[in-house]
Amino acid sequence: MKGQEFDNDIALVTGATSGIGRAVARALGKAGARTVLNGIGREAAADVVTEIEAAGGAASFVDGSLADADGWKSVLAAAEAAYGGFSVFVHCASPPRTETQTVLRVSEAEWDAMINTNLRSGFFLAQAIARKMRQSQIRGRMVFMTSLHAETPRNLPHYSAAKAGQAMVVRELARALGPDGIRVNGVAPGAIPGGGFKADVSTLERQIPAGRTGTPEDVAAATLALLSDKHCGYVTGEILAVDGGLALYNWLGRPENLDA
């Protein structure tokens, strides 16, 4: 693993046991970063840790949900116990969502879990990590995994609100931490089948200029580029759409039933 750009980095990746978070953790680990994976599901995490170690890297897993208001505190404490402070933080964690969690149906519990995981936990993890970066004079990098729905409503109000909040948190952190040499950016994935994504893929692909839906690996590659001082050292406070051009279309129609 020696001689790679991220050899000197220690990374924390949330939501790292599935989907995009898993792909990001795997990519960072294989690129040389000592990587702490956070998520739910020890077996899935063990597969990623094994894969990273087989490639000559170092990784560990911290179990724990960020859906509780203060869950981030125990996750951070356990993560710091593994490697100490971090130079890279990628926040991918987000609760499962269903198409029934609409404006008139989403519950308080679903709202709280979505906001706590995406926004509250993401911000306070970033705040705590940034304080240590500053104290140690580490030129750190952070990426928040937001969404095209930070800008475009989808009748999933808790999800859209959480992602819109993340986009502003990215800008607030970037502005405040830039003088300390800490870069903060966001990635807005497009249509990435799996997880909470539900759509008629064949129809959707006809609306995507790139001609296909994306993969977690597409998003992971863009995330590593943003984290790279070599490639994006002068980029901060930006939200990069990784969507094959999907956002160029008004691709969401009116929900069939606003009471659904």
* Bridge partner list, 183: 141
Contact by Cβ (8 Å): 82, 38: no
**The one catalytic residue among 30, 65, 160, 163:** 163
Beta strand extents in 40-95 (DSSP E only) = 59-63, 88-91
Task: Specify whether 147 is catalytic.
Answer: yes
How far apart are alpha carbons 260 and 55 in whole angstroms?
A: 47
Contact by Cβ (8 Å): 29, 90: no
Using CA atoms, how far residue 7 sits from 2, 36, 57, 86, in Å, is: 6, 14, 9, 13
User: What is the gyration radius of the CA atoms in the chain, in angstroms?
Assistant: 18
Task: Specify whether 74 is catalytic.
Answer: no
**The one catalytic residue among 73, 147, 160, 230:** 147
The dihedral built from the CA positions of residue 43, 76, 21 and 29, taken in this order, carries a sign that is negative
**The one catalytic residue among 30, 94, 121, 159:** 159
Task: Specify whether 159 is catalytic.
Answer: yes
Helix axes 108-115, 157-177, angle to 10 degrees: 20
How far apart are alpha carbons 35 and 240 in whole angstroms?
A: 23
How far apart are alpha carbons 219 and 189 in whole angstroms?
A: 7
**Catalytic center residues:** 147, 159, 163
